[in-house]
Amino acid sequence: MTEYKLLFSPVKIGKMELKNRIIFPPMYSRLATEDGYVTQKQIDYYEVRAAGGAAMLTVDAVRVNKRSKFYPNSLGLFDDDQIPGWKKLCDTIHSHGAKVSTQMLHPGPSAGSMHGTVPVGPSPVWASDVRETPQELSLEEIKVIIGEYAEAVRRGKEAGLDSVQLHAAHGYSLIGSFMSPYFNKRTDEYGGSVEDRMKLLLDIIKAIKAKVGQDFPITVRISGDEYRQGSRGIAESQFIAPMIEEAGADALEISAGIVPDSFWQVIPPTGTPPGLNANAAETIKKVVNIPVIAVGKINTPRVAEFILKTGKADIVGIARQIATDPDFPKKAFEGRLDDIVPCMGDNLGCLFGHPTRGHVTCPMNPARARERECVIEPTENPKKVLVAGGGPAGLEAARVAANRGHDVTLMDKANKLGGQINLACVPPMKQEFSRMIKYLSHQANKEGVKIELGKEVTADTIDELKPDAVIVATGAVPLIPDNIPGIDGDNVVTAWDVLAGKVGTASRNVVIVGGGAVGSETADYLARIDDNASILSTKVTIVEMMEEIAMDMGVQPREILINRLRERDVVVLKSTTAKEIHKDGVTIEKKGRLEKIEDIDLVVLALGAEPVNQIAETVKGKVAEVHVIGDALKPRMALEAIDEGREVGRTI
């Protein structure tokens, strides 16, 4: 019997019964055709998640008309010709005992025109995230859209949907923008008072119920608190919740935030509290009688059970964690917590997709959106495999190769596994990244990989082991350019040295050369607020050649990091080049002018990395197969490293 008794107890939304209290909320998959039709890849994507044990899957975010596309390859329910594809998708999900919903999303002010969509909204209020002013909808256009919602749900019901969700949150949805006083400045029946700002949503609910029947379940997603000056707060959300229930909604899903001011609340990244919207859900739950769903960084079974046990919500929506590990519900039920693939919350693969293949992906699950292509099958030709390097790429390669039946040995010259992830865990709010190495290490051991630490792979190692294949995953070292005078001075260290604890951090005035993620996070680590007389303050200056800093991070973690750097008074010099390093300062060039930053006692280099792969040349001619992966091939992100590790382990 599972220890998570509430999580795996049944619950009803309207007359629809769910087998447990885990739902998979909508996530953008990029797997539909360009004109909005279901594809086999999309069916494969949702089938593995239905088989993983979630009670209900909410399929993507669906456009209700052809003209309003929020993103490329977005699913649609605006044409009867789309029904057969949806029916095949629904039948597949149903075959695994899960219910099917979808999210109805008409884009609002933040749609932007990049996809050929004319941005519309309640009022012509500048949308700062897309830098456009939407067109104000007329009463006649509003009536048309209400009818399009009802027709889209009618098609969905005919195809086999068990429920639908109306997106009324975050400001970027049309409904949510009408509900927000920030966007809605209308003086007619659809604006002004709180009740009138609610009218579009309530009219859509009533139109849908009239079209498909009162018993067809409708969930509404709202932001409990929009966290933006001039927007809706939790008190007003609590006031409007009973109105949504009275209109016919069967459940409420409580998210938070509004784009772009609080995007990190919409998709909370690494370092944010677990279940951070649960308290808002609890506030809403006090005033309604329909089920309340909590969403937002619910990434362990214990967090999910806690939210239910403490009465904060009736159901939990677990999106990115199930995207990472489709079998999360099944593993949670069986108590196999160490086997749950952890979501890192970096939001890069989820939001921006694979850097070369385009589709959504995940650092910890390279098979996401490639379910049929990335099947791991037993080998028919077992080999002796040597993996050099115990970072993410090497661990994943070793794990997968051993799982397939190869005899795998992994060696790393360090005294612990993890490679650069050990450094990535050090800056504030990054400790959760340690879960990556814990999981990969556990799985490699579980698969029988022979791990030898403190041992570097050399030519003698090859002669001794006589492997059939060598996987070079030896990582990278900091890049130190030779064109900056003084770069070899005693006052110059690398960001890696700082994060590894190899140098003291008591300096009073620091310049960090390089403002990518590593440099910016090192600045966050070093900077101290001068608010305590007993603590030495540290002034940090970032010198960055590009126009912005930390652009190699996900949007949400970058947003939080930038805010923290501002709070800590970190000076950021953008479009600036370090020209020379002195014993007491740094000469910089900005807009063609040279100037010197004075009184510097430490210079930290964060200028990228260069691969370490000399062993690949050493083993040439000695081993039949040599594969170079991860940063040893080319320094990039953990996403590419684990992807390459999985691929070589799967095909070797």
pLDDT at 91: 98
Q: For the chain, give the number of residues.
A: 652
Distance CA 651, CA 406 (A): 11
| 192-215 tens-digit pLDDT | 999 999 999 999 999 999 999 999
Contact (Cβ atoms closer than 8 angstroms) between residue 326 and residue 52: yes
| 464-502 tens-digit pLDDT | 999 999 999 999 999 999 999 999 999 999 999 999 999
In the predicted structure, residue 30 carries a pLDDT above the cut 80: yes
| 44-89 tens-digit pLDDT | 999 999 999 999 999 999 999 999 888 888 999 999 999 999 999 9
| 364-412 tens-digit pLDDT | 999 999 999 999 999 999 999 999 999 999 999 999 999 999 999 999 9
How many CA atoms does the CB half-sphere of 499 hold within 13 Å? 26
Which residues, 6+ apart, have CB-to-CB distance to 247 below 8 Å? 201, 202, 205, 206
pLDDT at 116: 73
In the predicted structure, residue 115 carries a pLDDT above the cut 70: no
pLDDT band at residue 230, thresholds of 50, 70 and 90? confident
pLDDT band at residue 529, thresholds of 50, 70 and 90? low
Residue range 556-569: mean pLDDT, rounded? 93
Contact (Cβ atoms closer than 8 angstroms) between residue 282 and residue 313: yes
Residue range 305-331: mean pLDDT, rounded? 98
pLDDT at 606: 98
Candidates 4, 28, 149, 172; catalytic one: 172
pLDDT at 412: 98
Q: Which of 228, 238, 144 is nearest to 183 (CA)?
A: 228
pLDDT at 2: 87
pLDDT band at residue 113, thresholds of 50, 70 and 90? low
In the predicted structure, residue 19 carries a pLDDT above the cut 70: yes
Q: What percent of the chain has pLDDT over 90?
A: 87
* Rounded to 5°, angle at Cα 280 from 274 and 283: 135
More confident residue, 535 or 505: 505
Report the Cα 249 to chain-centroid distance in Å.
29
Residue range 222-241: mean pLDDT, rounded? 94
In the predicted structure, residue 535 carries a pLDDT above the cut 70: no
pLDDT at 530: 57
In the predicted structure, residue 442 carries a pLDDT above the cut 70: yes
pLDDT at 478: 98
pLDDT at 584: 93
Distance CA 221, CA 257 (A): 12
**Interaxial angle between packed helices 139-159 and 83-94, expressed in degrees from 0 to 180 and rounded to the nearest 10:** 50
pLDDT at 533: 58
pLDDT at 28: 84
Q: Are strands 593-597 and 586-590 parallel, antiparallel or unpaired?
A: antiparallel
**Model-level pTM?**
0.95
Say whether 45 is catalytic. no
pLDDT band at residue 242, thresholds of 50, 70 and 90? very high
In the predicted structure, residue 308 carries a pLDDT above the cut 60: yes
Is 437 in a helix, a strand, or coil? helix
pLDDT at 311: 98
Q: Which of 81, 36, 79, 34 is nearest to 59 (CA)?
A: 36
Give the phi and the psi of residue 279 in degrees, each rounded to 5.
-65, -35
The DSSP secondary-structure symbol of 113 reads: S
The DSSP secondary-structure symbol of 258 reads: B
Contact (Cβ atoms closer than 8 angstroms) between residue 60 and residue 32: yes
pLDDT band at residue 112, thresholds of 50, 70 and 90? low
More confident residue, 572 or 111: 572
